[in-house]
Structure 1
């Protein structure tokens, strides 16, 4: 009788070992590829000198000496852990801004970069361009990430000053928008701002009207 009990115990032990080995094998060798990250098409606008190109190039880990200011438009695929952002950056000179709207079609979100240390005249122009974008038929329902760049400069205006000057509370009421300070000296904060934008984009994916 003891022999039978011992034999059954040995067989059970072998069975448990085989199951354990199979589970480990599946975990190590048969995991399969990770699910694809969602991709979003965004448009990035702002005046010349606001720092759009430098911020996007840093996010793509490009070398600083290879950064050239965008005169027409450029497209960058910026990878994040939970999404890939295909960002169409538009030049910010006077003769290009009037054509911005031609590149809005197909956008799922907007990045607006402003120089928080700019002159009063440039800040007024940036305000007018942001107001125009917020009210444009192809952009008005999209999530906006507004980056107050160059916060490392002594003349930089605070977020509260910019929010008040740009009249964001009354103008963007009911819209999905984020206003964040940033500079090239703190790219982690820039990445955090983009993560918030990705959250807004994901929320739109699950809205009933989009299903």
Structure 2
């Protein structure tokens, strides 16, 4: 019988808090959306390294991805579930099998690559971006390795990869420069891409978060 006063007190507190929430219009925090993304790029573009930086993992022993890996990137208003596909020629022929049911794409370009590798990268990008299942999705093209001398900037990448007209036709494509040595800048870019995903897939999210 001695337990009843404590139980009654607890129930009263819960009821009072519920009434307080309704009277004061306190809303529950909105559910954080989860987006399934692909991360593409040829071998040695730096895909795994960038994703590991974003998830605060060790980048000292990165090896080329065989098959695919999945990493969760947690942002203030979204979770990006990123599936990185290996970039070797033998694997790229199977990329299309993973194009369905994704909400966006991150494509990594090696800013320090040779001209031949840039042509190879351009070919891989065009094949993926012209696929009907990805052509209308939001794209983030990262011109990586800006910490290396002579690295190709985003402006130069747009020019040399002949992306100018494509960017005019497809406003869903964003091109940015990045580096593993600037994690804050990289995260800022990814957060902006997360905002873009919310605008496209959950337009009510912005108003909801602003109201909380």
Indicate the TM-score class for this superposition, using the shorter chain for normalisation.
0.7 to 0.9
- Matched residue count: 182
In structure 2, the residue matched to 1:199 is 195
Tell me which of 31, 43, 60 is aligned to 1:36: 31
What SS does the corresponding residue of 2:187 show, helix, strand or coil?
Answer: helix
Measured on the aligned residues, the alpha-carbon RMSD in Å equals 2.2
In structure 1, the residue matched to 2:95 is 100
Which structure has the larger Rg? Answer: 1
Normalising by structure 1, report the TM-score. Answer: 0.80
| Alignment deviations for residues 36-74 of structure 1 (CA, whole Å, 9 cap, x no partner) | 211100000001100000110111111224543311101
- 1:123 has 2:118 as partner: yes
Which of 1 and 2 has higher RCO (CA within 8 Å, sep 6+)? 2
Normalising by structure 2, report the TM-score. Answer: 0.79
In structure 1, the residue matched to 2:4 is none
Contact 2:40 2:107 in 1 (8 A): yes
In structure 2, the residue matched to 1:162 is 157
CA distance in 1, matches of 2:27, 2:136: 38
- 1:183 has 2:183 as partner: no
Stretches of structure 1 that go unaligned for 5 or more consecutive residues are 1-21
In structure 1, the residue matched to 2:128 is 133
In structure 2, the residue matched to 1:171 is 166
Contact 1:141 1:175 in 2 (8 A): no
